[in-house]
Amino acid sequence: MTRPISVGTTLPAAVLTTVYIVPVGYFAKWSLMYLFNNTGSTKNIAVYWRDSSANANIYVTDSAVTTKNFVRIDGGAYVVMEENDSIVMLSEAGSTFTTICTFELFKKEGI
């Protein structure tokens, strides 16, 4: 059984923020991410996939995003995430970023 889910949030500036955690008993395909810079100037943002099984933060992107612009990651590729894996983001001080991420959840059965 699969279930699509999208999450969106406004990121607090200069605070490492967990955007999504894969629930226990599921794995997820992360297929889409939008990052919007709502600030009046170019600001940086870092996005990590936190792989809980390896206790590692893996860079997805570390980008300078121009004012009122966005970054989109999609294109048919996806990241497979296991239970308790998460997506975390860190935006630059003085910035206002929003994000939308889409996942497809799969119930673990007999794994």
Q: Which position has the token pair 């870092």?
A: 46
Q: Total domain count for the chain?
A: 1
- Largest Cα–Cα distance in the chain? 50
For residue 25, the 8-state DSSP code is T
- Residue 1 — pLDDT band, cuts 50, 70, 90? confident
**Helices assigned H by DSSP within the chain:** none
Helix (H, G, I), strand (E, B) or coil at 18: strand
Min mean pLDDT across 44-48, 55-59, 79-83 is at: 55-59
Give the CA distances from residue 22 to residues 14, 38, 49, in Å, rounded to whole numbers and listed in that order.
24, 28, 11
Cβ(1)–Cβ(106) below 8 Å: yes
Q: What is the mean pLDDT of residues 44-49?
A: 97
Q: Which residue has the higher pLDDT, 111 or 65?
A: 65
**Quick one: pLDDT band at residue 111, thresholds 50, 70, 90?**
low
Q: Which residues of 74-85 are buried (b: 16+ CB within 10 A; e: fewer)?
A: eeeebbebeeeb
**Whole-structure pTM value:** 0.92
Average pLDDT score over residue span 88-92: 97
CATH number at residue 73: 2.60.120.1330
pLDDT score of 99 more than 90:
yes
- Residue 25, domain extent: 2-107
Comparing 10-14, 45-49, 75-79, the range with the smallest average pLDDT is 75-79
**For residues 2 and 106, what is the distance between their CA atoms, to the nearest angstrom?**
5
